[in-house]
Amino acid sequence: MPAYSSGLSAQLMVKAETTVGTAVTVDTAYEFLTESFQLNPTYLDGQGLKSGTGYKRVARTVQSAFDVDGDFSLEHADQGHMGLLWKHALGSSATAAVIATTAYKQIHTPGIKTGLGLTLQVGRPQVTSATVQPFTYRGVKITGWEFSCQDGGYAQIKFTCDGWQETTATALAAATYTAAAGLFSFADATNFKLGGTATTAAGETTIASGVSVASVVRGITITGSTPMKDDRRGLGNSGVKKEQLENAIPTITGTLDTEFTSRTELYDLFSANTTTALQLDFSHGDAGSSNPYLLSFIFPALKFKNADVNVTGPDVLPQKIDFEAYDDGSGTNPVIQVKLVSKDTTI
């Protein structure tokens, strides 16, 4: 394998921690686009006055607390342990269940993130000797995520994270990747429906009688946010935080970028405050026994929060639809379901 003195030799790997904040050896590599992880220590500078001295003294400056934050983005693959990231993004308890031969499904729905933590390692190549330097982060929680797919492009997802501490002393792990992992694209969005009735049986949600969206939707963005108490330090912890805990209401929102095709299909749902279901499936190929690779989103109860449409010139009128997902009150249907079908036998 060639050694590049640039991002061409970069790598990103993770592994679920058994105990949140206790680092483990990473073993799952992802082909990624960008990352922005950084160590953010808090500095304390002594403020005492010393006769004849106007500047802070280096002997009285310390790092008193530690924090890690950042995000990473990647194109959404059709296999290769995407389920591990969805598990930590939603707090799901999903497992991989065989459908037939080599095809396995995972059903991810929101749960509690307590006890879920990742060790994450970024390999950053330096120019000198093309050495890839390891930066390893423990106690990493996914606090937010953003899925997007635009006309003519690949599906992408960004995960926003909060962690405990960074070390550069852990050796660089050997990166191995899932062979023949493909990507979901705009052209794979073969099932896009509004309305219908959601039901959940044996832990899986389906929607009956949904109607295919007639409007030309050029892109979709779905965003999840889980507020967390991320400054739980305290005496005796050397400035390192304890496990981050949910401390406010999580949200799932999104945007549809559309043409103003039909007032009744989208705008009237907004103006009448109508609750509707939405299903969006990306699928292609064959994971086994005629079961396509699948990335499916189901929202049993959506509200359109904005549907502005204005004339800005002679072109087709654009329309931006903002939505938010809600608990439908059934006690069985989740706010969101993410279903994966792949050849991954484990999460």
**Cβ atoms of residues 302 and 222 within 8 Å:** no
**How confident is the model at residue 2, as a pLDDT?**
81
Longest dimension (CA), the chain: 82
Q: Is residue 54 part of a domain?
A: no
Tell whether the model's pLDDT for residue 228 goes beyond 90: yes
Q: Is residue 52 part of a domain?
A: no
Percentage of the chain modeled with pLDDT above 90: 99
pLDDT of residue 121: 98
**pLDDT of the residue at 342:** 98
pLDDT tens-digit series, residues 47-80 = 999 999 999 999 999 999 999 999 999 999 999 9
Residue 80: per-residue pLDDT: 97
Q: Domain range spanning residue 188? A: 7-43+66-169+182-342
Please give the Cα distance from 122 to 11 (Å, whole number).
6
For the stretch 244-286, pLDDT in tens is 999 999 999 999 999 999 999 999 999 999 999 999 999 999 9
| pLDDT value, residue 133 | 98
Please determine, for residue 1, whether its predicted confidence score (pLDDT) is greater than 80: no
| Per-residue pLDDT tens digits for 128-185 | 999 999 999 999 999 999 999 999 999 999 999 999 999 999 999 999 999 999 999 9
End-to-end CA distance of the chain: 28
Asked if the structure places residue 1 within a domain, the reply is no
How far, in Å, CA of 207 to CA of 278, rounded? 8
The vertex-280 CA angle with 279 and 282, nearest 5°, equals: 145
The candidate with the shortest Cα–Cα distance to 89, out of 30, 147, 162, 141, is 141
- Torsional class of 323: left (φ above 0), alpha (ψ -120 to 50), beta (otherwise): beta
The CA distance from 62 to 41, in Å, is 10
**Are residues 141 and 70 in contact, defined by beta-carbon separation less than 8 angstroms?**
no
Position 174 in a domain: no
Give the pLDDT score at 304.
98
The model's pTM is: 0.97
Q: How far apart are CA 260 and CA 34, in angstroms?
A: 34
Q: What is d(CA 82, CA 344) in angstroms, rounded to the nearest whole number? A: 9
If one counts the domains in the chain, the total is 1
Three-class SS of the chain: CCCCCCHHHCEEEEEECCCCCCCCCCCEEECCCEECCEECCEEEECCCCECCECCCCHHHEEEEECCEEEEEEEECECCCCHHHHHHHHHCCCCCCEEEECCEEEEEECCCCCCCCCEEEEEEEECCHHHCEEEEEEEEEEEEEEEEEEECCCECEEEEEEEECEEECCCCCCCCCCCCCCCECEHHHEEEEEECCEEEEECCEEEEECCEECCCCEEEEEEEEECCEECCCCCCCCCCCCCCCEECCCCEEEEEEEEECCCHHHHHHHHHCCCEEEEEEEEEEEEEECCEEEEEEEEEEEEEEEECCECCCCCCCCEEEEEEEECCCCCCCCCCCEEEEEECCCCC
Residue 205 lies in a domain: yes
Phi, psi values for residue 87, rounded to 5°: -55, -45
Average of per-residue pLDDT across 29-37:
98
Confidence check: pLDDT of 84 > 90: yes
Q: How confident is the model at residue 238 (pLDDT cuts 50, 70, 90)?
A: very high
The mean pLDDT of 106-114, rounded to a whole number, is 98
Residue 57 placed within a domain: no
In the predicted model, what is the mean pLDDT of the chain? Answer: 97
Question: pLDDT tens, 216-225?
Answer: 999 999 999 9
pLDDT in tens, 173-222: 999 999 999 999 999 999 999 999 999 999 999 999 999 999 999 999 99
Residue 256 in any domain: the answer is yes
Residue 177 in any domain: the answer is: no
> Which pLDDT does position 214 carry in this prediction?
96
